[in-house]
Structure 1
Amino acid sequence: MLDESLLDAPESLARADTRGLLRGAAESGARVRTAARSAAESGLSDLRPEGRPRALLVAGSGPSTGGIADLLSALGGGNIPVSLIRPGGALPDPGALLWTLPGWAGPMDLLLIVTTDGTEPGLSGLVEQAYRRGCSVVTITPPHSPLTDEAGGRHGLVVPLVPAPYEETPEDQPLPTTGLWPAAAVEPPGTFWALLTPLLVLSDRLGLFPAAQPAIQSVADRLDHAAERCGPAIATYGNPAKTLTAELADALPLLWSEGPAAGAVARHFSRALAAVAGRPALAAELPDALSLHGTLLSGVFAAGADPDDFFRDRVEDPQALHARVVLLRGQAEPAPHSAMSAARELALTHDTPVSELEPAGGSSLEAIAELLAVTDFAAVYLALASGERA
């Protein structure tokens, strides 16, 4: 159950935030700038590719990997296929996972590896596979890690991941494992940007979408501005992240988006709600969301569902979740007869509450940065105010 009074108690929030997630969210802009400098020093900004690769292959061991692949695909607008390589087996070493290149991968493809660890033998093995197949490799990994030596020795480009000042290195704090899979880990939001930023620079050099140095600086500035608006010291009534948190109390969020980029943000928010706050959420892009989730507006999750239903289990029964539509849209207000307008009308017809997130003007990258910042803060606030260990 959400303790809304905690949202306006900055000192209590700080005590509850044992993982430093609020600080990590606030430093996202700084992590973008640091990562951009690291990319430039590694020679990424000076690349002169002779053409676009046939496909981008993304692999990594952290929770950010899927979101990074999703966002690159959305920003690329279909110019280049982006494939996420998931681990599909195990190596003999305890807890070691196995990544395998698809059978069609070859010299025309580019492998991107992102990790905050750098000690995974499976990723080193993936670099060796890429070398044998003739794939180009760009790796984002902590400096002086085994993966740095492996990728650099195979003539790949390595961009050192510079951690935040308060973060421990993997050598100081190894990632625990349970069976074959890493134990549940919550990365500070800034880590996502530290891994993504070099790939934005690379995408600009490849001509996938514009992300030159001025654009990267604008993203960092937008993240800083969002952190000022969403910080713990800002009261709920003037804080978009805290407002969204209060609206999502006892709600099943239906994250409806319009456009590929907003869709990637919605899926990122769904993953953050599950990983950080332990809350379920469903994400879908409009107009498909209307048919995919429409039944939830009139079933047991409907706003008007009878709490005294005879068949309801009343033994230690927690407060029922009711659907709430969260609309994520781009900079401009959609046309009167757009899918977004239809979504509002459908929710209104079923007395379902609606929250809306709309970034200020600017580029697509800036809009995405603002949406990601607000939703990341909201996921952390929801965890802290619900008593989850954050």
Structure 2
Amino acid sequence: MLDESLLDTPEALAEADRRGLLRGAAEAGARVRTAARHAAEAGVADLKPDGRPRAVLIAGPGAAATHAADLLGTLAGAGSPVIRLAPSGVAPAAGALRWELPGWTGSVDLLLITTPDGTEPGLSLLAEAAYRRGCAVAAVAPVGTPLAEAVAGAHGMFISMATAPYDQEEPLAASAPGVLWALLTPLLALLDRTGLLSAPPEALEKVADRLDQVAERCGPAIATYSNAAKTLASELADALPVIWTEGVSAGPAGRRFAAGLAELAGRPALVAELPEALAAHGALLAGPLAASADPDDFFRDRVEEQPALHARVVLLRDSPIGGLTAAPTARELALSHDTPISELEPEAGGELESLAELIAVTDFAAVYLALASGA
């Protein structure tokens, strides 16, 4: 059950937030600025690549690398060369994850390693293997870690992760707010130099500004009725989130939201892009999870009985490709099955700013849901 009174009590939220999740969400803009500075200090701005890499391989543990690869691949557009390397197994002796390069990896490729830890032996071995293949290596991780030494030995570029003092109090969740931007920002700056995508310093500054604006609108001190993130958390309290996305930026934001709900709040969620989502989830909305599926639910004892789980559509929208939109059809489908719908749409701005706003609002919502439900 969701403790809605906690949402409008900043002191109680702070006491419940033992992992510093709200601080991470509020500091996302600052992390972007710090990470951009670290990238500049590492020499990213001085790079003069011969051209775009044939393939950009991204390796790292769990959701951190998955989100980075998803976001970078989306921003790179059609024909993106971004490839996420999944662990190939576990080393029998140490029980550590093992990564392997594709057999075709060579001097025209780029390996990016991203991790909030930096002590994984498998990633250090991967950097060494890339060096032997002639593959360029860059990594973002905490300074002073074994990975930093391995990258230096591979004559690669190491960029210090933008961390905060409280990051070391407990292990960082890969979906924790702030972690994504600390790892992603240097990679954006690096791939901007290769010509794979557009993320110049001025664009990153706008991203930081947009993240600060969301933090002001969705922070703990802002009441639920005027706080989009708290409102969304309340709406999802007893619901199965069915996340539908429309537009280039909304896709990765929706997938990250689903991952954050699972990792931070312990809540399952379904996610799909419009218009395919209409066919993929149409039967679900007409089934036992529809709000109209149980006619006796109206007479349920609201105090003694647990509420029935029903679907709720969360529509994340950005500018649809070609100007065509499936949103009206999506609303009609949901409402025809008495399924409530929540909508989020970013303010006008560039693609990176829109992406940042959708991620920031849904990050706050996942944290509020986690704290108010005791997760």
* Partner Cα distance (2:93, 2:173) in 1: 21
Q: 1:89 to 1:333 in 2, by over 3 A?
A: closer
Q: Tell me the equivalent position of 2:9.
A: 9
AA partner of residue 67 (structure 1): H
Matched, 1:103 2:103: yes
Structure 1: tracts of 5 or more residues without a match: 176-183, 310-315
- Asked whether the 8 Å contact 1:186–1:276 carries over to 2, the reply is no
Equivalent in 257, 263, 274 of residue 275 of structure 1: 263
Of 374, 381, 387, the match for 2:361: 374
2:236 matched residue in structure 1: 248
Could you tell me how far apart the structure 1 residues matched to 2:237 and 2:367 are?
A: 13
Instruction: State the match for 2:300 in structure 1.
Output: none
Residue 272 of structure 2 aligns to a residue whose secondary structure is strand
1:279-305 residue CA offsets vs partner (Å, 9 max, x unmatched): 010110111100111111110110112
Kindly, what percent of the aligned residue pairs are identical? 62
Shift, 1:94, TM fit: 2.6
Q: Which string of whole-angstrom CA distances, capped at 9 and with x for unpartnered residues, describes residues 183-217 of structure 1?
A: x9455311110000001101211112221111000
CA distance in 1, matches of 2:246, 2:17: 33
**d(CA) in 2 for partners of 1:338 and 1:147?**
45
Q: What residue number does 1:287 align with?
A: 275
Q: RMSD over aligned Cα, in angstroms?
A: 2.0
Are residues 227 and 292 of structure 1, via their aligned partners in 2, closer, same or farther at CA, if it must alter by over 3 Å?
A: same
Question: Quick check: which one's helix share is greater?
Answer: 2
Letter in 1 for 2:28: S
The separation in 2 between residues aligned to 1:90 and 1:232, in whole angstroms, is 41
TM-superposed deviation, 1:250: 0.7
Which blocks of at least 5 consecutive residues in structure 2 are unaligned? 298-303
Name the CA distance, whole Å, in 2 between partners of 1:144 and 1:18: 26
Q: 1:18 deviation in Å?
A: 0.8
Aligned to 1:31, the other structure's residue is in SS state helix
Query: Structure 1 residue 67: deviation in Å?
Result: 0.6
TM-score by length of 1: 0.90
Q: What letter matches 1:39 in structure 2?
A: A
Q: For 1:253 and 1:119, how far apart are their aligned partners in 2?
A: 35
Q: Residue deviations 1:298-320, cap 9 Å, x none?
A: 101101121659xxxxxx97422
The Cα offsets for residues 127-161 of structure 1, whole Å up to 9 and x where unpaired, read as 12211222111111111211111111111111111
Q: Is the 8 A contact 2:58 2:82 kept in 1?
A: yes
Q: Which amino acid aligns with 1:354?
A: I
Q: 1:93 to 1:117 in 2, by over 3 A?
A: farther
Separation in structure 1 between the aligned mates of residue 14 and residue 135 of structure 2, nearest angstrom = 46
Give the aligned residue type for 2:54: R
Scaled by the length of structure 2, the TM-score of the pair is 0.94
Rounded Cα–Cα distance in structure 1 between residues aligned with 2:110 and 2:321: 37
Letter of the structure 2 residue corresponding to residue 5 of structure 1:
S
Residues 1:65 and 1:307: Cα distance change in structure 2 (over 3 Å): farther
Deviations 1:5-59 (A, max 9, x none): 2111111111111111001100000000000000000001221111001111110
Aligned position for 2:42: 42
